[in-house]
Amino acid sequence: MQVLITVIIVVAIFFMIRSLSKTFRNRRRQPNYKKHLVPKQLNLQRDVILRDAESRLQAGLPKHFVKQLKGRMLEKYPRMSEAEFDWKFFELKRYFMMTAIMKSVPMYSDSVDDIWHEMLMFTREYQEFGETFIGSSIHHAPHSSTASSPNPGERAWFEWVYSQLFTVSPYTGAIWKSFFRHPLDITRIEELLLMSEESLVKSLFNQRTVEQYPEIRSVVHLLIAKAKRQISGAEHNTAYDEARPSRGNADFMPYMAGAMMFHSYQNDNGFEEHMQQYSLEDEKKKDTANTGDSSGYICNGWDENCTDNGSHDSSSDSGGGGGDSGSTSSCSSSSCSSCGGGGD
C-alpha cells in the first residue's frame, strides 16, 4: 500500500513539474508586444480600397467603448499587458473586416476570440458597432460539441484572403499561428476556376454587403480576379515564376499566398517543401561566414515560430500571455466553430 502511495505521489510531482515547465516556456516565448506601435489604420494592401469601410469600422468603435472593453480584459486577464490587448484588438478589427467581405470566416485565435466574447457582453454597444459598420450585427456562432473536424483547406483559404487584404504585422503569426502550412482544397480551387463571379459571390462572399457597399463589391471582384489569374497561371506553368519581393515588402505576403495557390493546384506531395523554400530563401543569416552555421533565421511576422526580436523560437498564442490564460474558447490552429460573417 505504501509503495502505491509513493508511486502516486511521484507521478503527481512529475506532472506538476512538467506543467510548470510548460508554463514557464510559454511565458518566456511570448512576443514583446511593447516593441512595436499598433498602426492607427488596418494597413490594407495598396490595391485594396476600403477607406469607407474602414472609416465605418472605426466609427463603430468609439474610444469610450474600447476603453471599457480593454479595462474588462485587463481585469479578467491580469497578465495581459495593454500592448498585448492593443495588438490582438487590432487583429480582431482585421477579422471584422474579413467578415464584411466573406460569407463565413472561422476564428483561428483563442485570444482574439476572447476579446470578441467580451465585446458581446456590451450588448447595446456591440449591436451599434455592427449597424454602423455593415448595417447589421456580426454574428458569433457558439461552440458546439458536434463541431466539424479541423479543415486545413479552410484555414488556407483564410490565409489567402488575409494576405490579399492586409500587410503582415510583427505579430501576425504569433496571434493567428503560422501561415502557408496547408494547401487549399482542390474543390475550392475548382470552384474559383470554373464558377462565374456571380456564383462565387453567392457561394463564398457576403452577398448583402457586396450589394450594399460599392467598395466591398470592388474588393470582392478584385479577389475573384486574382484567384482566377493565379489558378490559370498554375494551369499553364510548371513552376511558380512570380518575381519574388524582398522580405518586409508589402507584396511578400501576397507572393507567398500566390505560391500557396500554385502548389495547391499542382496537388503534389511536396507542398510543404516548396513553401519552406520560398520562405527560407533569404532567411539565412548573413554573418555566418566565420562560423559556417546557416541554421539561424530572420524573424517573419507571419510565422509563429519566430519571436519579434529575430530569434528562432516557438511563440504560442495559447500560452503565457494574459489574454490566453484561462481561456474557455475551443478554437484550434486549424479550425474553430466560432465564425463571423454577415451571411448571405
Domain assignment present for 274: yes
d(CA 87, CA 32): 11
Per the structure, how many domains does the chain have?
1
d(CA 159, CA 302): 10
pLDDT value at residue 278: 83
Give mean pLDDT, residues 152-170.
95
Domain assignment present for 15: no
Least confident of 73-87, 131-145, 153-167: 131-145
Q: What is the pTM assigned to this prediction?
A: 0.80
Structure-block grid coordinates of residue 37: 506601435
Least confident of 5-14, 45-54, 81-90, 327-336: 327-336
How large is the greatest C-alpha to C-alpha distance in the chain, in angstroms?
A: 76
Residue type, 57: L
Domain assignment present for 76: yes
Task: Please measure the distance between the N-terminal and C-terminal CA atoms of the chain and give it in whole angstroms.
Answer: 65
- pLDDT category at 29 given cuts 50, 70, 90 is low
Domain assignment present for 17: no
* Structural domain harbouring 250: 31-144+151-284+298-323
- pLDDT category at 281 given cuts 50, 70, 90 is low
Domain assignment present for 266: yes
More confident residue, 27 or 318: 27
Domain assignment present for 332: no
Domain assignment present for 236: yes
Domain assignment present for 331: no
DSSP state of 49: -
Mean pLDDT of the chain: 81
Nearest to 327 by CA among 76, 159, 155: 76
Instruction: Report whether 143 contacts 172 (CB < 8 A).
Output: no
Model confidence at 56: pLDDT above 90: yes
Instruction: Report whether 193 contacts 186 (CB < 8 A).
Output: no
